[in-house]
Amino acid sequence: MRVGLEFYPISNPEMIVSISEARFSAKHENANMPANSTFEISLDQEFQPFIPAAILRLSYIYPEQEFLTSEQGVTVNGTSETDPVRLEREVTYQVYREKIFQQTIPMRQGLYEILAK
């Protein structure tokens, strides 16, 4: 969805009306029928234990998408309006973030024990 101003040549005002009408009708014809798409994001096996927690986080960030664990990594179902490159980047970021969180738990617990003494 684009936000902002659009400028058209003033020399042909009939063209402005026809473009606006075409955009309005195309937008409202497709409003009730969103195109669904499914794609797979492959991740290394070492990241498999961290996928469920990442999916939980992704589900509230992207409520219009459905994230499922698969053998290869993560399957994403949802509308085709979402940029797949951006989603892939976000999925890999969230999985890696969860991996770092899990791996640093013992270190943080040790620090808390030292501070509690």
- Residue 21 has a pLDDT of 43
- d(C-alpha 36, C-alpha 9), whole Å: 36
- Residue 35 has a pLDDT of 67
Spatial CA neighbour of 82 closest among 34, 25, 12: 34
Which regions of the chain are under pLDDT 50?
Answer: 1-33
CATH topology of domain 35-116: Ribosomal Protein S8; Chain: A, domain 1 (3.30.1370)
Which of helix, strand or coil describes residue 6?
A: coil
- Sequence-distant (6+) residues with CB within 8 A of 72 are 40, 41, 42, 43
- Residue 108 has a pLDDT of 93
Q: Find how far residue 102's CA is from the centre of its chain.
A: 23
Indicate the domain borders of the chain. 35-116
- Residue 71 has a pLDDT of 92
- Residue 80 has a pLDDT of 67
